[in-house]
Every structure is written in C-alpha cells, then in structure tokens.
Structure 1
C-alpha cells in the first residue's frame, strides 16, 4: 500500500500583535518543515481566523527558508491578525461548521492558533466540533499576549519585550523630567496597556532601583483609584524628589468600579473601548495641585518595539511555537505549551503543558503581594518575578541605520469551496 499522504497544518495569529509573535510563527513553520513526512504544507490564515472563515489562506511553502528565519526578528503579525471573536457554538454553529468545512477542503489536520485567552477558547471549540463531526484535527494553542494574563504558564510571549520597553522608557523619561523640573515640568505620566491585569504597569517599577528613581508611582487595575490619596502622594514626591514620574495602566478603575477612561464604546470582543487614562490623570493633577505636567501613551509603540526586545522573550516565543508542533506530533490535542520557571537564581526555564479547558477565558491578575501595601508600587517579590523576563538583547539586523524586517510574499492558496462566507 502507498504511504498515507501527510495532512496539512493551519496557523493563525489572533488579537493584538507583539514584538515576538512572529518568532512563534517561525518556530511553528520551521519545525513543521523538519517533519515533512508527517506534516504536509503549512497554510496561514490571512488576518487570523478571518482567513479561515473566508477561505483566504496563505501558502507558507512559497516562502524561502531565509524569509521564515527572518520572522524571528520581525515584529507584528506577518500574516495579519484580527480582533474577531467567534460566538458561542450554540449561538452561531455556522461559524464553526464553516471552519471545519474549510479545513476539510484543504486537508488540514493540525490547527495552531497563536493568541490569548479568547483564542484558546476558539481552539478548544474547534477541536471539540471536529471530533464530534468525525474529522480529526489536533488543535494546539500557542500562547501570546503582552498582558501576561494567561493562567498556568509562568509568563506569556510578548510580555517580556513590552516590559523591557516600558522600564527603559520610564527610566529615560525620568532623566528628562528631572533635568527640567526646577523651572518646568513637575509631573510626567506614562500610560501603558493592561485592561484588567497590571503586569505591564508593574514592569515599569523595574526602572526604579533606588529611592528617587523614576517611576515614583504605579497605578494598577487591581487597586481601586483613590483620588485624595493619589494627589497626596504626587505632592509628596514632588516636594521630596523635585518631580514625580507615574506609570498608569489603561484599566485603572474608580471606587464605582468604572474605568477612569471609559469612552462608552465597545471593541470586537465586547470589551470597553478605553479612551486614554493619562490625560484624565493629568487634568486631575492640574486641577488639584496646579503642577505643570506632560503625559504620553505608549500605545502600539510598546508592543511593536522589536529593536529593544528581551532575548528571554524571543527565545521563549520561538520555543513555544516549536513545542506546539512537537506536541501535535506526539498525539496531543486541545493543549497549550507553557513556560515553567525551573529556577529563580540563576533564572532557568523549561517547557510544560496545559489543558485548554484550564486556560480558555481565564485571566491571571497581578497578585496582591506583588503590590506594596499602599497600592502605589511593586514589592521585591514582584521584582524577583519580573526581572528575569527582560534580560538579554536580541537586536535585529540593521541597514542604513534602521532595523531590517522581512515582508513575506503571502501567496494565496487557491480556493476550493464555491460559496463565500459572510462575517
């Protein structure tokens, strides 16, 4: 009998991109290419899961080994990502049936979904439905999120690099403000990402290694914002150090449980569309303390800053992509490879495994003992956790003074289904 033809793999990127999500893509694709006898072609979804629904697939076999290798040092999503959350299976079974239909048409037996908690849920549901319909698909989730809020895994790819960017940025801004504080700006506010979990804001605390270093105050989503206590602390810092540098998470809430920056809108996932907390804090300082201020929103800069990525983060992102394929080849399904902290000093890590049923739609918050009793800074325990994750430099190649990033051909796969799918 002739040997059975290897089934193809589908890879997709989901949600907000990071400085290292392409490193995970590199890990997935390179590992698949090493196992051609077990895995056929690797197709990628153009703009994530939307590409699967619309049968808009990318043939990664058209990319050279050098181009795939260059993904390791290229930021953002090389195949396009999307904020598109599938509805519950019972509410819209057509979406899931369409995925299975596309996978069947293109002989896809492996599904590697690179994203956060929502994509873990999608990965789990696809696996369950495929099993129910008798089409075996091994669904493996590849963790990714700058928010660092996935459970079980010690940390999430993307977080170490954004943490490094935030710590470096607030340190450099602190030097700037300190230089001008005598006659100019007294308060600087840096807004960072983090809707419910304050991991990114916490990372800013790494920049402060001795009393007086910036930042002086960190505002966490986990701690209710107290206007009076906050203003008193700002005043105390200005009087003691000459200026006050603040890192604030976008998800800070007031005593009513409402986001300080809630714009009243909703994104594709149904989450509140936040309108910027830094100017809200700045206006409060102006009205209550009358200090001259400046504020900045790190926004996309923090998650796209591949030039200052953490080497630990890059290595883990690649390793988790590679591990996802290896788990599939060992017969695993509905699981996610994880990072396990094997040793604190010296820092060592290894790979683990988690069931998607334990990961999907869960959020890991900053523990209370990582935040000082007054709620305005990180503890030494938090510093011990965070510090190893920003270690090492992994610079991209440069040309003409600028980082040289790869742009893939992203050749389309010929469609096999007659009907189109309306999102």
Structure 2
C-alpha cells in the first residue's frame, strides 16, 4: 500500500473510445482534489509503453480548463497502445523495468484504463509489484467498445458506439428504402466485435414498434449459416423491397474461421479482421442478384463524440473518479463497475470487482438477448440497450465543428537509462 504521499501513473490502452478521455478527466480532477494524499498524476505516453520507456507526461502542466475539456474530447489524449505484458516468468525484465520507473518517480498508484488485456496487465502488476519489492496499488479503469468485460453491467465506451451504430443503421436504412425501387436493395454495415455481438445488436435498435425496418444482424455468438442467412435476406426483400444487414467483424463459420479473417495477427496475437461487409454483400449478389452497397464503421464508430450517449459519458467519468477514491481507501487489484439498479427509470451505481475475476474473462451476449432465428434481438435485449444509448452530451461547437482539446503533454525529465522494448 502507498503509505506516504506518492505520485500516480495513468495510462490508456487498446482501441480508444469516444469517452475514454472522460475517464482520464475523472482520474485527474479527483486526484487534484486530494493533493494532500496524491502528488502529481503522470500519464504514460502511448499507454504502458510510456512507463517502460520512461516517457511520462506531467498532467500538472495542464490547466483546469484543459483537463475539464477532456470530458468532451474523443480518442486517447495521451496516446494508447496494443501491448500486453507477458507473465513474470516469460519476461521478468519488463516488470523490473516498470518498478524501476515507478521507484524513480515516486509512483505508488497505477490506474490503467482499458479492456480485457489491460485488466490482465493491471492484475499482474498488482500481484507482482510486492514480490519485486515495491508495492503499487493497481486499479483498472474499465473501457471497451466491445462491452465484453465481466461483472460490470456495461463498459464505458459501449453506450456511445451503440448509439452511433443504431443511428447510422437507421439513417442508412432510410436511404436504401428510398432507392430500392430502381437501385440498391441491400445495404451491409460492418461493425466491431470480435467475439461478442453487443455492437451489432445495437443496429437492431433502429427498428422500433413505431417504425419497423427490415434489419438482419449477424452475431459472433451465432454460427454463420449461409443458406439460412440468404433465405432471411431474400424473404425481407420480397416483403419490404429492401433490407439492411449489420454484420459483426467476428462473425464466423461453424469451423471457427472468421468471414473477415485476413490471415494476419495484431499486436496481441489476435486474428486481424476486416472485410466482413464485402464478403457478405457479394454473397448476397452472387446468390440473389440484388444490387448492394456496403460500409465499414471502423474508427468512425468509436470516435463519434459528437453523438455520444450521456449515460456513457457520465459512467466513464464516474469510473475514473471511483478508481482514485478506491485507491485512497486502500483498495488494490480491483476495478470499479457499473451496477444497474433499475431500467425504468434507469438508475445505476458504482460497484467494485476484484481483478482476479476480471482478467482474461470475456462477457458474451446472453442467449435470451438473441431471437430464436439468430438474426435479431429480443425485448429483453432492447430493455438492456436502450438506457445505455439515452441522453445527449454535446461538445461545444465553433463554425460548425466540435471543439476538442489537444493537451500540451509536457514530458517529465528522465532519470534512468534507455530501455529497448
């Protein structure tokens, strides 16, 4: 435990979101309110890599206004990375370096803002820092558009992506509806989601009781059946004259092969995905002859701060704030969570989960959230998703563009020798 006034280290990990900076804002503003217990907050430039290379950013050099501006700014203000620490046995050198850097800069608090892989890193640091002779309080700050962290009701970053995809699906479907008589009959939208179909599910929210739209969703949780899928699309086009397909990048065949697999791997060792939309669109054209268009939401879905969900922004900030408060209460190796109290009205509170039960665990969509035919969402899923998408929290605008913050990111003077990754 941090027995004296010590500095804190904060870093962002993995794919960024529209609201990860709101969590950063929560961490920094809360730490500044406790200057009697926490010294400076140092941020890692490009995530945990900043700690390993001693490339630290002094957030005390940022004005109160600039830090507050993080709440309405998308992406990662300090830079992120895809870098997963191996086990102590596999790479003791990296852990020793982390502790060396923390020691040199009097860092006793470690706040790591990310998804499943960063939860694993945070857990390892919390477990091994004491073994290496320098105990560090490690708190994981949840973030992932994939919404696949366990225990927490939902993950900051997801609500805004869900809202963006629901709106995009709605607007694109209106577009194809207007053109279907003489032109496009099928539009395919590819969204993120390697193993969990939460984002794809949000596309189905575009169809409501007041405005029924023909939307087909392809989930990673449902094995892809080409014959069944084509029959579904054909039936909807026959009935409505058009349809929209929302396909998760993680949609795969019964043998486990992704529709979008490229045969390459990312920095975490995951199969590199991308291209499910054209695969599905051409499948429709070849089998049914329908004219199509397709699009890939890609970075647009996770960077769309202009249409962020207020619920999401509030929860992202609350997770950062709670992380600091947990540390000050002496907690270690934990993650603040969102606990849903009720749906109508929507109420939630901050909870806490041990990292031992979070690291390396993925939360998939429950079977009762997916319709029996495997191509849509149930009412239970709608009740879960709707509150996460509600509310607006617009940034300020100037000349038609949102005003986002770019920090100075002043480097902390180095004290140690160079470290090669």
Query: Per the shorter chain, which TM-score range?
Result: over 0.9
* CA–CA separation in structure 2 for the residues paired with 1:136 and 1:233: 57
Residues 55, 411 of structure 1: CA spacing in aligned structure 2 closer, same or farther, 3 A cutoff?
same
Answer whether contact 1:140 1:335 (CA < 8 A) is retained.
yes
How many residue pairs end up in the alignment?
419
Answer whether contact 1:205 1:215 (CA < 8 A) is retained.
no
**2:199 paired with 1:214:** no
Counterpart in 1 of 2:196? 197
Question: Secondary structure of the equivalent of 2:129?
Answer: helix
| Within-5 A mapping of 1:28-67 | 28-67=27-66
* TM-score, normalised by the number of residues in structure 2: 0.98
* CA–CA separation in structure 2 for the residues paired with 1:360 and 1:196: 16
* CA–CA separation in structure 2 for the residues paired with 1:354 and 1:5: 25
* CA–CA separation in structure 1 for the residues paired with 2:139 and 2:243: 46
Moved over 4 A (4+): none
Answer whether contact 2:214 2:240 (CA < 8 A) is retained.
no
Instruction: Calculate the aligned-residue CA RMSD, in Å.
Output: 1.0
**2:107 paired with 1:108:** yes
* TM-score, normalised by the number of residues in structure 1: 0.98
Deviates more, 1:125-134 or 1:207-216: 207-216
Answer whether contact 1:16 1:145 (CA < 8 A) is retained.
yes
* CA–CA separation in structure 1 for the residues paired with 2:249 and 2:96: 37
Structure 2 portions without partners, runs of 5+: none
Counterpart in 2 of 1:231? 230
Counterpart in 2 of 1:89? 88
Q: CA deviation at 1:134?
A: 2.7
**2:160 paired with 1:161:** yes
Answer whether contact 2:197 2:221 (CA < 8 A) is retained.
yes
Counterpart in 1 of 2:16? 17
| Within-5 A mapping of 1:374-413 | 374-413=373-412
Q: CA deviation at 1:214?
A: 3.5
Give a deviation string over 1:38-92, Cα, whole Å, max 9, x none: 0000000000000000000000000000000000000000000001111122111
Q: CA deviation at 1:215?
A: 5.0
* CA–CA separation in structure 2 for the residues paired with 1:211 and 1:13: 41
Answer whether contact 2:214 2:236 (CA < 8 A) is retained.
no
Answer whether contact 2:96 2:132 (CA < 8 A) is retained.
no
Counterpart in 2 of 1:129? 128
Give a deviation string over 1:77-120, Cα, whole Å, max 9, x none: 00000011111221111111110110000000000000001101
* CA–CA separation in structure 1 for the residues paired with 2:360 and 2:4: 36
Structure 1 portions without partners, runs of 5+: none
Deviates more, 1:203-212 or 1:313-322: 203-212
